[in-house]
């Protein structure tokens, strides 16, 4: 891998030299179709590029080297068959106001990234198999390529920022670099694959999921609407005592055989005792005979309900979207949930049952704090473990127990948000004063001078593309989206060249300035209302809704039952 990286870095200066030529040519052709003012600005940009070409190249190479070095340092900690490590958190810095001009840069950056991924899609996938082989990941479980589209796009923006001109010229540089960079990288990725192949590197293979004949993946709506199907699934399901359970119980899910591990170096000194308690508790759950619960059922329908709940937990254990540490905690609820279904038929009536709500909320909050070493995530694990321990120890299972668990989790999350707000008190006070001044003059100065026609951009990031065609958001829908945001809501946004999960901490009294906090660090962003409107219109900002893991499990069980009866 090091040899490959060094080889690519040696070729980077030539690639950037070709990129500059492509930018100059592209901008020259574009000058014939713009206004005289824009044509003059493009001419100034071209002259500046030619005059400061060595400085632009130095910035490009330096940014590329820093990003690749950071990627390699993270790659040494990456383990095959696990999700890729999260990007390094943002460094705490002085708070700056993100306005429409800042978002314009992100719009162009996302456009350049999407252009590269579209033009060089095949070459990227082929190179990914070779680099996965270098990393020892023969199943291509994650992307080990340190020279991604995002890496080159951010390096190009670093070069643009060295132009001693206005922000409009820098954004125009990035805009005209998109197509030439995509074509250059298409050839570069193909050449890299050929060199690795000639060195005798055997490429890895992408894992392929073969679905049963006639089956389809459930749509997004199927992940939240399943309550009407559970009774039907139960009615078509064989009773457990008629099947293999009669011979000694069902096989244990993978999550039942393990236990959650806290990361090494956890700040809390009590982490070791937590690991020991969690391990012993989950092993105790694994020894439980689910068939004994089924034998207590007096009717066949109750035994079918017990098996249905067991299969739901099997499906959740197989769901790769659920983090392993949270998955192990959820599996502790398997036995109590099976006993609860004998007393509370409401478990199958609706997806709003407190048990399902507790599981869905726990998984969602774990996804929002993905770093295993994050103290907030460790505290969430501790709360989940202690709460589930109390639920499991109760001899009588009822809905009120899980209402208490859900309220306890909700209270914990409210306190966590309150702590985050308290740490940003000084920022909030300063931003409120700034908002008062800004609302007195709603026409801020701009340095774009018509150089960027933002509403005309066709920018749809690949990671936000829907399976079906989506109509662009209307002004009224964007305003409604902003009005519905409340403190504590999570959104996914593209900012400073990458996707982040951010939490709304504070909207201004006039809702002109908004403060967001990074979910993976202590970084915060103050954003103008116009910037958020632009980001949402260009699909660079989107609310994150809590996914129903239980609903996904129900859909899988329904497919299994239908396939077995076919």
> Which tens digits make up the pLDDT trace of 62-113?
999 999 998 888 765 443 334 444 444 454 445 667 777 778 888 888 989 9
Answer yes or no: do 302 and 396 share one domain.
yes
What are the strands of the beta sheet with 97-98, ordered from one edge? 97-98, 524-528, 513-518, 498-507, 490-495, 541-543
Answer yes or no: do 10 and 135 share one domain.
yes
**pLDDT single digits (tens) 494-548:** 887 788 899 999 998 989 999 999 888 888 889 888 889 988 988 889 999 888 8
Answer yes or no: do 257 and 367 share one domain.
yes
In a domain, 173, yes or no: yes
* More confident position, 389 or 469: 389
Answer yes or no: do 136 and 237 share one domain.
no
Domain final residue, candidates 167, 198, 229: 198
Q: What is the pLDDT of residue 71?
A: 85
Give the angle subtended at the CA of 186 by the CAs of 167 and 55, to the nearest 5°: 35
Length of the chain measured in residues: 566
Tokens matching residue 24 = 């100059």
In a domain, 400, yes or no: yes
CA 384 from centroid of its chain's CA atoms: 22
Answer yes or no: do 155 and 274 share one domain.
no
- Rounded CA gap, 256 and 557, in Å? 19
Please report how many Cα atoms fall inside a 13 Å half-sphere around the Cα of residue 459, on the Cβ side.
27
Q: What is the pLDDT of residue 210?
A: 53
In a domain, 214, yes or no: no
Domain count, the chain: 2
In a domain, 253, yes or no: yes
Answer yes or no: do 187 and 277 share one domain.
no
In a domain, 501, yes or no: no
Domain final residue, candidates 149, 183, 198: 198
In a domain, 212, yes or no: no
In a domain, 463, yes or no: no
Q: Look at the alpha carbons of 550, 556, 560, 566 in this order and tell me if their dihedral is positive or negative.
A: positive
Q: 108-122, 250-264, 279-293, 359-373: which has the minimum mean pLDDT?
A: 250-264
- Return the closest-CA partner of residue 303 out of 295, 315, 312, 311: 295
Answer yes or no: do 338 and 398 share one domain.
yes
Q: What is the pLDDT of residue 98?
A: 78
Answer yes or no: do 38 and 183 share one domain.
yes
In a domain, 167, yes or no: yes
Answer yes or no: do 118 and 83 share one domain.
yes
Domain final residue, candidates 198, 231, 249: 198
Q: Indicate the pTM of the whole model.
A: 0.69
Give the structural domain span for 233: 221-422+548-565
Answer yes or no: do 339 and 373 share one domain.
yes
Q: What is the CA radius of gyration of the chain?
A: 27
Q: What is the pLDDT of residue 383?
A: 93
Answer yes or no: do 186 and 228 share one domain.
no
Answer yes or no: do 186 and 281 share one domain.
no
Helix (H, G, I), strand (E, B) or coil at 514: strand
**pLDDT single digits (tens) 182-231:** 999 999 999 999 999 998 888 888 665 554 444 444 444 334 444 446 66
């Amino acid at each position: 891998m090091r040899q490959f990286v060094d080889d690519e870095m040696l070729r980077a200066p030539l690639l950037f030299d070709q990129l500059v030529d492509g930018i100059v040519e592209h901008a020259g052709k574009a000058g014939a179709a713009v206004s005289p003012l824009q044509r003059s600005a493009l001419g100034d940009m071209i002259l500046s590029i030619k005059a400061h070409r060595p400085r632009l190249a130095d910035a490009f190479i330096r940014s590329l080297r820093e990003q690749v070095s950071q990627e390699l340092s993270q790659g040494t900690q990456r383990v095959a068959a696990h999700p890729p490590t999260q990007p390094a958190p943002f460094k705490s810095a002085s708070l700056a106001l993100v306005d429409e001009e800042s978002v314009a840069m992100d719009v162009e950056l996302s456009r350049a990234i999407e252009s590269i991924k579209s033009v060089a899609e095949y070459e990227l996938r082929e190179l990914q198999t070779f680099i996965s082989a270098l990393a020892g990941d023969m199943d291509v479980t994650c992307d080990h390529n340190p020279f991604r589209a995002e890496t080159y796009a951010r390096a190009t923006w670093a070069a643009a920022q060295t132009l001693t001109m206005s922000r409009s010229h820098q954004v125009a540089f990035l805009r005209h670099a998109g197509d030439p960079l995509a074509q250059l990288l298409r050839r570069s990725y193909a050449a890299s694959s050929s060199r690795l192949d000639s060195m005798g590197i055997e490429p890895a293979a992408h894992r392929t999921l073969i679905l049963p004949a006639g089956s389809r993946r459930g749509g997004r709506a199927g992940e939240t609407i399943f309550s009407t199907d559970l009774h039907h699934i139960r009615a078509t399901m064989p009773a457990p005592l008629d099947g293999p359970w009669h011979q000694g119980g069902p096989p244990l899910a993978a999550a039942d055989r393990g236990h959650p591990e806290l990361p090494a170096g956890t700040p809390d000194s009590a982490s070791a005792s937590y690991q020991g308690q969690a391990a012993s508790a989950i092993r105790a759950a694994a020894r439980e005979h689910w068939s004994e619960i089924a034998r207590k059922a007096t009717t066949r329908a109750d035994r079918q309900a017990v098996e249905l709940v067991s299969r739901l937990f099997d499906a959740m254990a197989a769901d790769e979207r659920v983090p392993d540490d949270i998955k192990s905690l959820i599996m502790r609820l398997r036995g109590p949930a099976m006993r609860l279904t004998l007393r509370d038929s409401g478990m199958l009536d609706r997806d709003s049952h407190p048990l399902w709500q507790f599981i869905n909320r726990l998984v969602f909050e774990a996804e929002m704090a993905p770093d295993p070493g994050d103290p907030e995530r460790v505290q969430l694990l501790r709360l989940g473990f202690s709460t589930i321990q109390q639920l499991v120890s109760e001899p009588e299972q009822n809905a009120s127990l899980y209402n208490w668990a859900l309220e306890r989790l909700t209270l914990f999350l409210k306190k966590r948000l309150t702590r985050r707000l308290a740490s940003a008190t000084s920022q909030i006070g300063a931003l409120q004063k700034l908002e008062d001044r800004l609302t007195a003059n709603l026409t801020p100065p701009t340095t774009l001078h018509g150089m960027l026609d933002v509403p005309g951009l066709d920018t749809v990031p690949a990671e936000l593309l829907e399976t079906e065609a989506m109509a662009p958001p209307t002004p009224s829908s964007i305003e409604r989206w902003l009005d519905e945001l409340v403190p504590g809501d999570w959104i996914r946004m593209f900012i400073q060249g990458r996707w982040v999960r951010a939490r709304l901490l504070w909207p201004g009294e006039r809702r002109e300035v908004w403060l967001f906090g990074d979910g993976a660090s202590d970084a915060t962003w103050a954003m103008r209302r116009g910037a958020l409107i632009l980001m949402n219109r260009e699909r660079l900002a989107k609310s994150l809704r809590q996914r129903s893991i239980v609903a996904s499990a129900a859909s899988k069980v329904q497919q299994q039952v239908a396939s077995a009866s076919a």
